Structure 1
Amino acid sequence: MTVEQCSKAVSLPDCATELLAGGALTPEQALGVLQTPEADRMQLVAAASKVRRHHFGNTVKVNYLVNLKSGLCPEDCGYCSQRLGSQAETLRYSWLSTEDAAAQAHAGLRAGASRVCLVASGRGPSNCDVERVTDMVSVIRDQSPQAEVCACLGLLKDGQAERLTEAGVDAYNHNINTAESHHANIVTTHTYSDRVNTIERAKTAGLSPCSGLIVGMKETDEQIVEALFALKEIDADSIPINFLMPFDGTPLAGTWELTPHRALSIVCLARLICPDKEIRIAAGREMHLRSLQPLALEAANSLFLGDYLTSHGQAVAEDLHLLADQGFVILTPEGGTQDPSELLEHMDPTTPEIRRRGAGTEFAPNA
């Protein structure tokens, strides 16, 4: 049976076997997978799960966001609450202190994260901004030397990626967000090529490339396939899949195009196109996957814990229960694994989490 036949939902699990033997989907076949009817949902999940478990077993990588700088952005990305002219009710503030950033990072690490993502709004960092981040990395490393650090600071200039590498940053995130053919409908203040060029700068400097997309922004099925194959071509090591959160006060406010089944199908397709890459369910997963989040983790092997940049995420304890109930184990900074139930045992529900400005999580584990 060919991959093309499987893509028509005849026997998707058999397709997984072919993919693990070295096969690959074509864009036409991927479109067929994306359009798998709801009646065949479990065949699609089974195919994605077979590939995911071949490469990653029952492990999940947990990531934690630290919002270093919120709002005040000159870019006009239509999905973003921090965009130029946004009327969304989010906090706007300049840079966190090194101490506050490190404290938030360590709260996430204590809750089970092995990677901390340091994110700042704006078109791109100045050299002074890069030095701020390197100071933060130094403090985080002093307390948690094995933790991974990912920076997400916007478009990079000459020498900045190299400076981040020297400071001990492991990865750089810069999402393509959508297909090149749809990019101009989402943002006009920078180009698709600008984004790809920053990813290439990061790769050249030795940073692990992290790049993903946002779905639900009025893109077509063909454009979702286009974006996922672009990420395969970029060779992103980790691929966050975000689901549009249609903030009031932004151009995409009121845009509700995703069903839980469609969101799940996109995650499964990402796994089948990029079999051995880290696929992360990210912002909006609670809103759009809803009760299908456990099924999405049969395709994805990574998630963000707690809050996002300007919005609340699922409670930390709820995320840990989600992983424990499925028998997943969490990757630790040291390269081992930890049962999420053990983290839950040490969690004190009366202790408030260190709250990010503009967001917050419900609980913190004991230090």
Structure 2
Amino acid sequence: MNQWMELADQVLDGKELTNEEALSILDCPDDDVLLLMHAAFQIRKRYYGKKVKLNMIMNAKSGLCPENCGYCSQSSISNAEIDSYRMVNKDSLLEGARRAAELNVGTYCIVASGRGPSNKEVDQVVDAVKEIKDTYGLKICACLGILKPEQAVRLKEAGVDRYNHNLNTSARNHDNITTSHTYDDRVNTVEVAKESGLSPCSGVIVGMKETRQDVVDIANSLKALDADSIPVNFLHAIKGTPLEGVDELNPLYCLKVLALFRFINPTKEIRISGGREVNLGSLQPLGLYAANSIFVGDYLTTIGQEETEDHKMLVDLGFEVESVEEMKEQLALNK
């Protein structure tokens, strides 16, 4: 038995990785990556079988953000050429939901730029969510920025299932990425969502000049936060942002990162998110041996893979798309 299978067996028996073991995954020799992914799949299979969760983003408000996040084309310090608009109307949110239902997507993600939502913007989301739930039965994830407790309660009461607020990077690296809010601001927002009964979703962006130790630390931080869903983004460096031209990733390293997150967070939804097409390239299918969830369609200001190609990839892998009902049952089991 290879070392990765031995480590996977230990994880399945309830062992937590040491820091040295976690770093060894990121330092796995390239020639051994297939062995590593096979081991990660044993953990994934225990909790999720061959099911894949599909997610789709509705960019409900674009640009106009006062924050200074170095990776983001919508930030106040970005010169990227993007469409900027205020919160879309209810009909647009419903149309996005209809498209998600057509694609057999389980989770519809309503995302808005900005530091945090105004009460009027929360009103708009609440109004649309009630009808989306009644009409399509989709699982709803909202991502609206720093959230006040009373806003979180309103979203929960309206039928929002999950709230996303990514930690993005380690506490040590945070100030190298943004200074307009703190790392603790992000942690507190996830806690506010949890306290209201919303399922917490929080993840990472890899490739922002962080060290391997930073990647291990953020994986452990998300474990401590008990995030139900962990989006793993790989930096797609956009022209006009401070991180323009940063290119630190390669497909094999991205696979090691996904394996690391599965080993550290064995029971959680690990979602391959933004930048997968650019950074994983032709190795995208292998990522699903560690992850059990992907976005289909476009992201916020970048283009994703054609939806038909995503579905074909899943069929070729012999995986099955998980229904909304199955997703809710699995979440209850993993709690």
Of the three residues 100, 118, 128, the one matched with 2:120 is 128
TM-score, normalised relative to structure 2: 0.96
Of the three residues 239, 245, 259, the one matched with 1:254 is 245
In 1, Cα distance between equivalents of 2:116 and 2:20: 36
In 1, Cα distance between equivalents of 2:85 and 2:263: 40
Q: Note the aligned Cα RMSD (angstroms).
A: 1.3
1:214 pairs with 2:214:
no
The structure showing larger relative contact order (alpha-carbon pairs under 8 Å, at least 6 residues apart) is 2
**Deviation digits for residues 237-291 of structure 1 (CA, Å, limit 9, x no counterpart):** 0000001010000000000000001111000100000001000000100000111
Q: Matches of residues 1-367 of structure 1 in structure 2 within 5 Å?
A: 11-145=3-137, 147-335=138-326
Q: As a proportion of its length, which structure holds more helix?
A: 2
Larger Rg: 1
In 1, Cα distance between equivalents of 2:134 and 2:227: 28
Measured after TM superposition, the shift of residue 27 of structure 1 is 1.9
Question: Which residue type is aligned with residue 113 of structure 2?
Answer: S
Instruction: Kindly indicate whether the alpha-carbon contact (under 8 Å) linking 2:97 and 2:136 is maintained by their aligned counterparts in 1.
Output: no
Question: Which residue type is aligned with residue 313 of structure 1?
Answer: G
In 2, Cα distance between equivalents of 1:152 and 1:162: 14
User: Unaligned 5+ residue runs, structure 2?
Assistant: 328-335
Instruction: Kindly indicate whether the alpha-carbon contact (under 8 Å) linking 2:149 and 2:196 is maintained by their aligned counterparts in 1.
Output: no
Match of 1:350 in 2: none
**SS of aligned partner of 2:324:** coil
Measured after TM superposition, the shift of residue 311 of structure 1 is 1.0
In 1, Cα distance between equivalents of 2:271 and 2:322: 14
**Deviation digits for residues 190-224 of structure 1 (CA, Å, limit 9, x no counterpart):** 00000000000000000000000000000000000
Instruction: Kindly indicate whether the alpha-carbon contact (under 8 Å) linking 1:306 and 1:316 is maintained by their aligned counterparts in 2.
Output: yes
In 2, Cα distance between equivalents of 1:293 and 1:251: 27
TM-score, normalised relative to structure 1: 0.88
Measured after TM superposition, the shift of residue 108 of structure 1 is 1.5
**SS of aligned partner of 1:84:** coil
**SS of aligned partner of 2:244:** coil
In 2, Cα distance between equivalents of 1:21 and 1:110: 40
Question: What is the percentage of aligned positions where both structures have the same residue?
Answer: 50
Measured after TM superposition, the shift of residue 121 of structure 1 is 0.1
**Deviation digits for residues 12-37 of structure 1 (CA, Å, limit 9, x no counterpart):** 11211111111110222101111101
User: Unaligned 5+ residue runs, structure 1?
Assistant: 2-9, 337-367
In 1, Cα distance between equivalents of 2:317 and 2:14: 28
In 1, Cα distance between equivalents of 2:67 and 2:60: 17
